[in-house]
Amino acid sequence: MGKNNRHWHKRPNRPASDYKPPYSEDVLNMSVEGLNLSAETLEVLQKGGVLTVGNIVSRRKNEMYKVQNFNKKRLFEVVNAISPLGVDFRPDDAPAAQGKPQQQQGQAENRPRKEENVGRQNDRRQNDKRQEKPRDDRHQADARRNGGNEPRREMREERRDQRDNRQQDNKKNNKGKQDNSVDFSKIFPREPLVHSPRIEPEKDIFTKFQRAGKWGFKDENGKEVIPPIYTEALPFKEDMAAVEMNGLFGYINRENVLVIPYKYDTAGSFSEGWANVTLGEKCGYVDKTGKETVPFIYDAATPFTGEGYGRVKKDGRWGNIRKDGEVTWQ
């Protein structure tokens, strides 16, 4: 017998198609390139087929790990990137209802009663058929005496004539009447939808490059200024860049001097002199000297917006935090 060759195809990881995220189409169709993610995370998402915000929020958090090379640090980065948009991952499904064995037991107990009822219903149907036969015979006899189906045909024609008369009367009554319907679009006009312009990230004099799986920086002329020795690196912002070494993040300056030591699980770029960082499962902020400016008490945090506040999440609520530590919860 010949060898049976079978070709096995791996099924791609896709979110469940029965869930539709409750957000606007503009947000769902937004490209992941506009989320200000690191180049490494952006490449991992695109290779995994996650191209839009809709592809992200259609998944549960744990389903993101099915994307190849996606890890916990990248999940923190994605959460911080989509949070300002007011969107979140797909919620977990509710637990299944309890009490199923009791229901099955009740069905087993009621089965004899159901069979009993079926027998009684069959008896009733047979009795009804016996009683209806003489009535059918009478109808057939009347039809033969009256010329077959002529009475029924006359009734149908009479009903059709009555229906046509009613339609003509309605047309006469409505003729000449003014249309009193109200066009609410003129009373409450809607302003045209204006899409916000896409904000392109500012280009820095240093750009990232990768060699043998490590990251470094080049200047505007393409000359290597910082060697590729880092596992991960974020672009320079305010003359500081977050870099990863041995699984932890710290910050370097343009001279490749480590200003803030490696101690954080995740790190964001500096904005308004502060950067959002993560220790364990909690987020806070530090300044350019590494001083803790906001304690690590929040579940998520985003970079400052440039308007004097950042976004933080705690106990399921989002709020705006300012540099005096005051939070306006929403």
In a domain, 9, yes or no: no
- DSSP 3-state of 148: coil
In a domain, 257, yes or no: yes
The two structure tokens encoding residue 149: 């189906």
User: Which amino acid makes up residue 182?
Assistant: V
Q: What CATH number has the domain bearing residue 66?
A: 1.10.150.20
In a domain, 96, yes or no: no
In a domain, 47, yes or no: yes
Residue from 308, 310, 314, 248 nearest 276 by CA? 310
User: For residue range 57-115, what is the model confidence (pLDDT) as tens digits?
Assistant: 889 988 888 898 899 888 988 988 888 888 899 987 644 444 444 444 445 454 555 55
The two structure tokens encoding residue 184: 């609410």
In a domain, 323, yes or no: yes
Spatial separation of the C-alpha atoms in residues 208 and 166, rounded to whole Å? 80
- DSSP 3-state of 32: helix
Whole-number CA gyration radius for the chain: 36
In a domain, 202, yes or no: no
pTM for the complete prediction? 0.47
Which of 66, 85, 104 is the last residue in one of the domains?
Answer: 85
Which of 85, 120, 137 is the last residue in one of the domains?
Answer: 85
In a domain, 230, yes or no: yes
Q: What is the dihedral of CA 243, 245, 251, 255, to 10 degrees?
A: -80
Q: How confident is the model at residue 163 (pLDDT cuts 50, 70, 90)?
A: confident
In a domain, 74, yes or no: yes
Give residue 254's domain range: 207-329
Which of 16, 50, 85 is the last residue in one of the domains?
Answer: 85
- DSSP 3-state of 237: strand
Spatial separation of the C-alpha atoms in residues 90 and 58, rounded to whole Å? 6
User: For residue range 246-276, what is the model confidence (pLDDT) as tens digits?
Assistant: 999 999 999 999 999 999 999 999 999 999 9
How many distinct structural domains can be found in the chain? 2
Q: What are phi and psi of 248, to 5 degrees?
A: -125, 155
Spatial separation of the C-alpha atoms in residues 271 and 234, rounded to whole Å? 13
